[in-house]
Amino acid sequence: MLTLRSYVAGEWFEGQGKSVTLVNPATEEAIATASTEGLDFEKCYAYARDVGGPALRAMTFRERGELLRAMSKAIHGKRDELFQSAMANGGNTRSDAKFDIDGAWGTLAAYADLGAELGDTKVLADGDAIQLGRSPRLFGAHVYLPREGVAVHVNAFNFPAWGLAEKAAAALLAGMPVISKPATSTALLAYRIMEVLVDGKLLPAGALQFIAGSTGKLLELLGGQDVLAFTGSSFTGTTLRRGVGITERGTHINVEADSLNAAVLGPDVEEGSDLLNLFAADVVRDMTQKTGQKCTAIRRVYVPRDRMDAVIEVLRERLAQVKVGDPTLDEVTMGPVSTAQQLADVRSGVEKLGRVAKLVVGSPTEVNAIGRTGDKGFFVAPMLLRADDPQAGDEVHSHEVFGPVATVMPYDGSAKDAARLVAMGGGGLVSSVYSDDKAFLEGCVLGIAPHHGRVTIGSTKVAGQAIPPGLVLPQLLHGGPGRAGGGEELGGRRGLAFYMQRTALQGDRSILEGLIGKKA
């Protein structure tokens, strides 16, 4: 069986002792093991800080962007092989695997473009310089410079490729060395990517290290110039926030956590319209893509009360087209969830929602899985629930079932009521509103915006070219307030800020101009 290794201080390291076994979720066959027992975390941390950091900081944004370009090309070049790893260890269909892997090289390419745009400088100016006194000599300005520590990235199990790449893209372009840790249960794909990057000798020594397994004592080593970017459950996020680096030494932390993303159907959207089709396609895609294991997936669907039955029928018809089964088969459109624990969590989560909502499509225990071997595999059917009278405090607003599950709920047709209900999610990554009615959009979109990192607006004029809410774009912010963790990632240039210190400089205008490299 394959043993996943960590890549530390310029060498591959194989852990000893107790290891975690990775399985194929479609067959439950063991495919690899991973352990970090015996790994020298102090050496790993010091190598990033003392070797990787200085090498990256010696480069300009343009040069660091070129590194990202090379990483992007290398991943793109091994796309087909990487798809196999995503299918084998993630339960991904080919289309799911593309979503993750194409997202990885695409995000690196977008940040490579940003590097070219920022050009031959190492200092990033933040806004314009400000005249401070009466004389036009005394000026103030804000600049960003890379933090002189280490960026530790802890990722969730659902996007092993994109998770590694999107965080690394922003950190490396900003000039910080990275230690990246994928979730162990699905780490095979991230490991294969790391092999591609190491074999290609694409990065300076110490710029990117990789941990296959537990972080051991690594997080205890973090200090005031270091950052920790975490993606995963709220529970783990809360644990990591209590780390000694964060509570006592000022380590910067970014948390990307759970989210009960909503889709709101406007009262003006007519049956059979392009906009209704867009809404239904988005809901069903988000429920079933990656078997619903997407932080941005739609979990709550709000429709005007008198449209509940009709909308549920539209969604039922579309969900009936979903073919669950062995993700390597062409006809299959939805694979299994990633682990036995995930399957147990989905089932118990649906039971929990069942206290206030009625299951109208699918079953937590019955599934017809194409190509299944006996009763093997963590397969589950897509499930739609309806809650006709959801109250504040009900699980439908607070419990994220991380699988192919959504709940349809009514609102009274007003933007105010829709916004009130969506806000009950306690802070989300992304929600979507479908309408052509400008007054409704203004009330609903601006009403829910303070509770979200991103809001997508579906309207008839863009229905043919709309980008689904579940797709995270490198140009736009990813993250959300409250339950979603309060984090911010990506968003083009904004994504660099977490990895850089913003400093105000004040003094003689010409000296400032010399330091910043541009006219004030």
For residues 210 to 249, the per-residue mask of contacts with ligand NAP, x marking binding by CB under 6 A and - elsewhere, is ----xx---------------xxx--x--x----------
Ramachandran angles phi, psi of 434, nearest 5°: -120, 110
484 neighbors 429 (Cβ within 8 angstroms): yes
Select from 41, 470, 411, 458 the least CA-distant residue to 219: 41
Query: With binding defined as CB under 6 A, does residue 454 bind ligand NAP?
Result: no
Strands ordered across the beta sheet of 2-4: 2-4, 30-34, 20-23
For the segment 457-516, give every residue that binds ligand NAP (CB under 6 A): 484-485
Query: With binding defined as CB under 6 A, does residue 85 bind ligand NAP?
Result: no
319 neighbors 334 (Cβ within 8 angstroms): no
Query: With binding defined as CB under 6 A, does residue 150 bind ligand NAP?
Result: no
* Contacting range for ligand NAP; rule: CB under 6 A; set: 21-29, 150-158, 411-419, 503-511: 150-158
- The Cα 492–Cα 124 span in angstroms is 13
Per the annotation, the verdict on 256 as an active-site residue is: yes
Pairing of the two strands 227-231 and 208-210: unpaired
Pairing of the two strands 151-154 and 178-181: parallel
Three-class SS state of 177: coil
Per the annotation, the verdict on 117 as an active-site residue is: no
Query: With binding defined as CB under 6 A, does residue 378 bind ligand NAP?
Result: no
Least distance (Å) between residue 323 CB and ligand NAP: 25
Q: Does residue 335 come out as left (phi exceeding 0), alpha (psi in the -120 to 50 range) or beta?
A: beta
* Shortest-Cβ-distance residue relative to ligand NAP: 232
Count of residues in contact with ligand NAP, rule CB under 6 A = 25
- The Cα 203–Cα 208 span in angstroms is 7
For the segment 387-426, give every residue that binds ligand NAP (CB under 6 A): 400, 402
324 neighbors 372 (Cβ within 8 angstroms): no
Member of 152, 154, 189, 350 binding ligand NAP (CB under 6 A): 154
- The Cα 481–Cα 458 span in angstroms is 22
Least distance (Å) between residue 272 CB and ligand NAP: 34
Which DSSP string corresponds to 321-369? T--BB-TTSTT--B---SSHHHHHHHHHHHHHHTTTSEEEE--SS----
Member of 173, 179, 183, 194 binding ligand NAP (CB under 6 A): 183
Spatial CB neighbours of 504, under 8 Å, sequence gap ≥ 6: 140, 141, 142
Among 295, 395, 444, 488, which one carries the catalytic annotation? 295
Query: With binding defined as CB under 6 A, does residue 257 bind ligand NAP?
Result: yes
* Contacting range for ligand NAP; rule: CB under 6 A; set: 11-19, 44-52, 182-190, 491-499: 182-190
* Contacting range for ligand NAP; rule: CB under 6 A; set: 10-18, 130-138, 178-186, 310-318: 178-186
For residues 267 to 296, the per-residue mask of contacts with ligand NAP, x marking binding by CB under 6 A and - elsewhere, is ----------------------------x-
Query: With binding defined as CB under 6 A, does residue 21 bind ligand NAP?
Result: no
Three-class SS state of 191: helix
Query: With binding defined as CB under 6 A, does residue 123 bind ligand NAP?
Result: no
Question: Which is nearer to ligand NAP, 258 or 417 (by Cβ)?
Answer: 258
Catalytic positions, written as ranges: 256, 295
Applying CB under 6 A, the residues found at the interface with ligand NAP are: 154-158, 181, 183-185, 214-215, 231-233, 236, 239, 256-258, 295, 400, 402, 429, 484-485
